[in-house]
Amino acid sequence: MSDLPPPQQSLRVALSVHALIAVGILLLVALTGGAAWKALAVAAIYFVLAGGWTWLKGWRARRADTGRDRSSLEGDR
């Protein structure tokens, strides 16, 4: 079982925040005159890694909650 706390925000909200941060990376590079293709690559990598980590934490928390629910139901027998 995992000791992870349940996620405080939904996956949709978390992915939206990560998307906004990725757009912020693109805007920052555009304003400073950096290479657009590098900024796009960094923003995409950030979004995939951060979104994947958020999804993984939520999946593990849901799996742990399901395991707790099952063990409490089996204890009622």
Please report the pLDDT score of residue 77 as a whole number: 55
Residues 36-66 pLDDT 10s: 999 999 999 999 999 999 999 888 888 887 7
Distance in angstroms (rounded) separating the CA atoms of residues 15 and 56: 12
The rounded distance, in Å, linking the Cα atoms of 55 and 25 is 21
pLDDT digits over 14-40, tens only? Answer: 999 999 999 999 999 999 999 999 999
Q: Scanning the structure block, which residue is given the tokens 């923003």?
A: 43
**pTM greater than 0.85 (yes/no):** no
